[in-house]
Structure formats: C-alpha cells, structure tokens
Amino acid sequence: MQVALVGVTGYSGMVLYQLLKQHPQVDGIHLYGHADAPAVPLKTVATMYQKETAVIRPFDAAAIMHDNAMVFFATSAGITCQLALPFIAAHFPVIDLSGDFRLRDPQQYQHWYQRTPAPVTALAQASYGLADMPSPLTTYIANPGCYATATLLGLAPLVQQQLIEPTSIVVDAKSGLSGAGKRATTASHYVTVNDNVSLYKLNQHQHIPEMMQQLQQWWPTIPAIEFTTTLIPVTRGIMATIYAKAKQPLTTAQVRDAFMTTYHEQPFVQVLPTGMPTIKDVIGSNNCALGVNYNPVTNTVVVVSVIDNLMKGAAGQAIQNFNRYFDFAVTTGLPTLPVFP
C-alpha cells in the first residue's frame, strides 16, 4: 500500500514517518510539503535521514489521491482545513493530526483556535478517532489531541459508568516540551524550561472543547471541567492527574474494576494493579498507563494517566486509526514496550 504524508518536518510528522517506514502493510510513503515550494530531498531538512532517498514534493491533491490509498496530515491547525476539502469531497481516506476537524461546532473552533473554521458540511463528515474507545470511522478521521487523549482515557470509565459527581472534575495535566512543536519561542528556550515548571494557557487550552464535546457525548450532564496545563522540563510525555468526587462511597478496588471493564480488550491501555504510573513507563510506546485510587476521607477518586505525546498523543494513535480503518490487527507496526532507561 502506498500512503501520503503531508508535513513530515514537525515532531509528530517525523515520528509518523518512522512508524510508517516500519509498518508491514505500507510499501511506500510519498511526502508532500507546500504547494508553491520546489521538491527537496528529505535529508536536506532532517539530518537524521541522511541515508533516505525520499523527496518532499509540492502539495497536489489530485496527485495524492491518484498515487496513494490514504493521506496523513501532520500539518498545523489552520492549514489542514485549507488543504483537506478536495479529499472530503472525493471521500478519500484521511487521518488528520491537526485540530481542524475535531470540533463539530465551527464557532467553538473559531473561539478556541482563533482561526477560520472549515465549512460545516465538511466538519460533519469527520469522525473523532479516539482509538482505544472504538466507534465507527468515516473516511475523514480527526486524530485526537495529546492532552485530550490522556484525559479522556483517564475519565472514560468514571463518566460512562457515572461513578462521579459530574460537576467535580479537575484535571492537572503536565507535558514535555515537544508538545509545543519545533518552532522556538521565549517560553521554550532552554534557560526558561530547564530546572523550571510553569503553567500556560490557563483555562484557554485548545484541547478543552474537544474533551468537553466527547465527555458530553458520553454523559450530557457534565457542564464543564477545570483543566490546567503545565510545562515540565522533559522532552516527551504527558501526565494527567484527574480528581473527581464519587457519587457514592467506593473502594480503590471498585474503581480499578470499572477501568478493567472498560479497557480489558484494549492492548494499548494498561490499568496498573497497584501504584501510579510514571512518564517513563510509556515513552517510546503507544501505551496509555493508568493508576487509580479512592480516598474515603475526602470521597475523591484520583486517576493518573500517562502517555507519550508524540506516540499515543499523535503519530502512534494515527497508526492505530490507520489499522482500524483498514481492518489490520490493531497493534500492527506499533511499539508496545517503552524505551528504557
């Protein structure tokens, strides 16, 4: 199978390219960049690919659809919605790692992303690909955001089984620097990030509306969540610590049983029998590791959800959705063991 990748030079695009190169069902990868840019060898823009002969070609929707069975977009928000409409019109298979088609409401997109949304008719044709909570996929798959993936997987059993008070959800999420992308800013300078911890986008993170959209689909009673994001001095990884009040007294074992019921058939979701996971438990893998606890004194359920933001939070989940779409074994081409040490 030949596949196309638009946007290989970003962190998520590079990781996705590596995964596609190792996928047994992928025979070749055609790379595409800007429509008005000349073709350039991949090795000239990414030094780790000196032995690669791949060329980044100018973007051409008609050529992509003619030469490939699917296209992956690893482009920035605001770019994909400008490029994707011909594929949607032709019902050509797309997996989109940007946020442009995750939200059904264009006004929500405009508010949270501060960009012009895609047409409503195009948004209606996209499916939200939270791969470990399988639901029917359309030809246009909106890959979830990294924070949303960690948070939703940590909340799904509690919400779907209505074990918590719907107004009590608090999420303290922390991410490594690669989640901010390659473009350097003052906030991403080494001297700013090293030996430091800082909150950012307080109550303004663009993944909040997609989390609310999915949570309210599971349980419409949930009005909102308190969600904070913190930058920590690591390269990769997300830890979402989730707090919620139980609707009635529970035990830690009961909470764990609820998670096992939800995820017992999902090979990439690991519910720990005891203790809490660390970021290093998942780095380099497509896994989400979950730890749970119930405090009877405060009547609080605590869930810790950890993922690799470039794998489960982006490229790995894209491959998982690729496998689902073409009915390959869900683990095909994906690492199940973390990098250690």
The residues annotated with a catalytic role in the active site are: 146
Token pair, residue 218, equals: 């599971």
The number of C-alpha atoms within 13 Å of 129 and in the hemisphere containing its C-beta is: 30
CA distances from 222 to 128, 167, 168, 215, 275 (A): 19, 6, 9, 7, 28
**Gap between the Cα atoms of 163 and 249, Å rounded:** 10
The sign of the CA dihedral 236, 146, 196, 9 is positive
Contact status, residue 317 vs residue 285, Cβ threshold 8 Å: no
**Gap between the Cα atoms of 141 and 318, Å rounded:** 9
**Which run of H or E residues covers position 294?**
strand 288-295
**Which run of H or E residues covers position 147?**
helix 146-160
- 3-class DSSP state for residue 270? strand
Residues of the chain by 3-state class (helix, strand, coil), percent to 5: 35, 20, 45
Q: Which of 323, 341, 318, 330 lies closest to 18 in space, CA to CA?
A: 318
